[in-house]
Chain A
Amino acid sequence: MSKVLVIAEHNGAALNPSTAKCVACAKQVEGAEIDVVVFAASASAVAAEAAQISGVGRVLTVEREENDPAIAALLAPQIAALASSYSHVFGPSTAFGKDVMPRVAALLGVNQISDIMSVEGPQRFKRPIYAGNAIVTVEAPADSVVVATVRTASYPAADGGNSATIENTNIDAELPTHTRFIEVQTGQSDRPDLQAAAKVVSGGRALGSEEKFALIYKLADKLGAAIGSSRAAVDAGYVPPETQVGQTGQIIAPDLYIAIGISGAIQHITGIKDAGTIVAINKDEEAPIFEVSDIGLVGDLFSIVPELTDALD
């Protein structure tokens, strides 16, 4: 019998959609019982949200002051302590999950399966390597716990409508003091979150400056879209790093992705392979981005983008 423990990602107040995606992946493990665990200072609001995800049997809460905000070095020993009653421990392949899950795996003496795209058996999974240029089927050793991150772009969030039981648990793990949270700076914006957005408008090096990136913001606001970017745009300082899409940025799967002045390097494409519709606007008809685009338009973005923004009234 498989028992999957999903580590909830949240900000203290609300659950991150990545959690319901991990549950969707856990549901692919045949006959699995699924628990979600919430580590927080006060977990009730987040736990109530997690209890609604279909497929979840129980929500466990572990309330400790040290769990707010989450620090990998403090969470890992608590997760490892819980893991003994589970066959699988899943977290999202977000910055949060990538930080904490390998630490858990090492404490349990196993390698991690990174970025599960599909479950082929209780110990067998598919995952992308080489910037998504190859897919490998891997098998974790028999009889050992599977610690994994779930490639969130491969899974739609599991539905709501459930009412799982919520249980408070105590964990006696001693927590280190060698790591201290100082602050987090977020690019305060009312725009949709890049991971969760149905539409994303993304700009590349061609924008040329932070000021001119306003063109991208205007179009995105018209569409109710999140902002994305290429590495070149981030490196040049036009947009903050958390907007970077690609192998080493965010991997996303919106219904609509509009790439503007982005050439389509493999490292970028791997971040959008699962998008519904890809639109590319580029002045070079040979740009590789067109090879993966559903709709392409060749031309100067500085005239096309304002025209498109106006046309969407």
Chain B
Amino acid sequence: MEKILVGLKRVVDYNVRVQVKSDGSGVETDGVKMSINPFDEIALEEALRIKERGEASEVIVLSIGTADSQQQLRTGLAMGADRAILVQTDESADPLTAARIFKAIIERENVDLVILGKQAIDDDNSQTGQMLAAVWGRPQATFASAVSFDGNTARVTREVDIGLETIEIDLPAVITVDLRLNEPRYVKLPDIMKAKKKPLDQIPFADLGVEAAPRTKEIKFEPPESRQRGIMVEDVAGLVTALKDKGLV
């Protein structure tokens, strides 16, 4: 295949314990560490490995968001992507709009394979890949833990609730990746320098001719009900007694 397109979403780093703003208008993101969505790093790693095996010739990374997302795209270029595209929006796109944007880029670039994360860890929606496959009219292989190719078909093992499912899909197609697919490489300093010279195109959303989907309104944010810290027991006998008191054994 020729081109692989990978989504890189800028999200609050997974180590940050996100706080809801006291007025319920959102979550506190000022001064918080931002990173590439961890699933997207796995998606990019897979694309790079496919290219390194000689099964693809170019890896393009795409982010949809504000100019800040350039930072994540540069990291993607340092990991080894050939070039980057930023579709500029005021804020992060909703999943269906994001899917339509991906499709517009696919048509411009003649992409054979799209690899996305199975979910973004901020909104945890897990929608974009499936929606892209629908609007593109192509196969989806979600939650992938193993991927291989044979000519124009891909064999994908998926992590499902009862175990591992294997399906075969015709390219072009969308794959969304799960945690076990691979372990992303670390970026080395010289690669960061090299990445500065790689192309990063910026396209304003309005120039793409994509219709924005009707947006889900976010009305109010609140912290979750917290669990209370319970009792500590001294030994196994104490544990058994406590369980019996609750009628659990």
Contact = CB atoms under 8 A, between A and B. Distances in A.
A256 interface: yes
Interface residues of B, number: 85
B217 A135 contact: no
In this complex, which of B124, B223, B233 has the most chain A Cβ atoms within 10 angstroms of its Cβ?
B124
Interface string B212-249: 01111111111110010111111111111011001011
Given A76-B134, A102-B130, A295-B231, A130 B159 contact: no
A106 B135 contact: yes
Interface stretch (B12-20, B58-66, B73-81): B12-20
Interface string A176-193: 101111111111000000
A124 interface: yes
A292 to B, nearest CB: 4
A111 interface: yes
B145 interface: yes
B213 A111 contact: yes
In this complex, which of A136, A256, A278, A290 has the most chain B Cβ atoms within 10 angstroms of its Cβ?
A136
Interface stretch (A38-46, A92-100, A205-213): A92-100
A130 to B, nearest CB: 4
B180 A241 contact: yes
Contacts of B216: 111, 113, 138-141
Contacts of B230: 278, 293-296
B164 interface: yes
In this complex, which of B95, B179, B216 has the most chain A Cβ atoms within 10 angstroms of its Cβ?
B216
Contacts of A19: none
B138 to A, nearest CB: 7
Contacts of B19: 133
B161 A106 contact: no
Interface in A254-303: 255-256, 266-267, 273, 277-279, 290-299
A304 B239 CA distance: 10
Interface in A131-153: 131-141, 144
Dominant secondary structure at the B interface = mixed
B163 interface: yes
B99 interface: yes
Contacts, number: 257
A311 interface: yes
Contact of B124 (A103, A129, A279): A129
Contact of A312 (B27, B214, B249): B249
A223 interface: yes
B198 interface: no
A138 B217 contact: yes
Contacts of B233: 295-297
In this complex, which of B14, B127, B128, B173 has the most chain A Cβ atoms within 10 angstroms of its Cβ?
B127
Nearest to B28: A134
A250 interface: yes
A167 interface: no
A113 B95 CA distance: 10
A224 to B, nearest CB: 10
Given A131-B124, A136-B221, A137-B219, A298 B232 contact: yes
Interface stretch (B49-57, B104-112, B114-122): B114-122
A311 B96 CA distance: 54
A297 B161 contact: no
A297 B239 contact: yes
Given A255-B248, A267-B14, A292-B229, A128 B224 contact: yes
A235 B126 contact: no
Contacts of B133: 73, 103
A241 B164 CA distance: 8
Interface string B163-193: 1111111100100001110000000000000
B96 A129 contact: no
A31 interface: no
Contact of B138 (A95, A178, A180): A178
Contacts of A185: 163-166
B170 A178 contact: yes
A113 B126 CA distance: 10
Give the 9 A-B residue pairs with the shortest CB-CB distance, closest first. Answer: A294-B230, A106-B134, A102-B130, A106-B131, A186-B163, A102-B127, A141-B214, A95-B160, A182-B166
Interface of B: 12, 14, 17-20, 27, 39, 94-96, 99, 118-119, 121-135, 137-143, 145, 155, 158-170, 173, 178-180, 213-224, 227, 229-240, 242-243, 246, 248-249
15 contacts: A73-B139, A109-B214, A114-B127, A136-B218, A136-B219, A139-B216, A178-B170, A183-B165, A185-B166, A241-B180, A248-B121, A255-B248, A273-B227, A291-B227, A311-B237
